[in-house]
Amino acid sequence: MIIKTSYSNTPIWKDIHVHAELPAPLRPLEEIIHNLWWVWNEEVKAIFENLDPEEWEKSEKNPVVMLQNLQSDITENVVKNAELMDRIYRVYDKFKQYMAVPHNPDRPSVAYFSMEYGLTHVLKIYSGGLGILAGDYLKEASDSNVDMTAVGFLYRYGYFTQTLSVEGQQIANYEAQNFGNLPITQVMNEDGTPMILEVPFHDRPIYSNIWKVAVGRINL
């Protein structure tokens, strides 16, 4: 006797990503926050703070988190604020002009490899001075319009903070980074699936997802 098997109760798992949607007049900010050009642009950071000073501090000055958490009444007031909206559009125009400058084809292209990049406290992929130096190289390369591509690692646990136990012992506290709250973009294949890099390692391969960080005109 053949018994038909039903798979109706078999769970089908899907990834669901939820993002807050800004009003259309504020959409330029979404483009700006996903390019670390804002990191060395004080005018942009001042705008972020003016949007909602309390949320700016609460988000630890992470514009990605701040924009996701902005309340609707705040965004409505911002849209009605002609002076602030004018500042947003002016800085967006400045950003677009900055990004539109083409590379000089007569200059050599550069591949830059580093284990860490100190670009912003929001992106915890550095721990010390050499990381800060590597991050400064990328910022300067962007401003100098160098045709550069940087390669590094996106650490789930960027670095730890230390606390003291009641016995006076140092305790390392590791806090995982939530990639959805970072100014990064996952690289996808044409069919919409994540691009995965296969790296041979001894007797087995290692598979790695690929993420992109826009650092002005430089891709990391």
In tens, the pLDDT along 109-137 reads 999 999 999 999 999 998 878 889 999 99
pTM: 0.83
Q: Rounded to whole angstroms, how far apart are CA atoms 188 and 79?
A: 33
Nearest to 66 by CA among 17, 26, 115: 26
Neighbours of 61 (CB within 10 A): 15
Considering 100, 132, 158, which residue would you say is the last residue of a domain?
A: 100
Residues 36 and 81 both lie in one domain: yes
Question: How large is the average pLDDT for residues 184-209?
Answer: 90
Residues 164 and 186 both lie in one domain: yes
Domain encompassing residue 177: 110-219
Residues 114 and 215 both lie in one domain: yes
188: β partners: 194
Q: Which of 12-21, 25-34, 66-75, 133-142 has the lowest mean pLDDT?
A: 12-21
Question: Is the predicted pLDDT of residue 152 greater than 90, yes or no?
Answer: yes
Asked if the structure places residue 123 within a domain, the reply is yes
Helix H segments across the chain?
A: 27-33, 42-51, 53-58, 63-69, 72-80, 82-100, 129-143
Asked if the structure places residue 12 within a domain, the reply is no
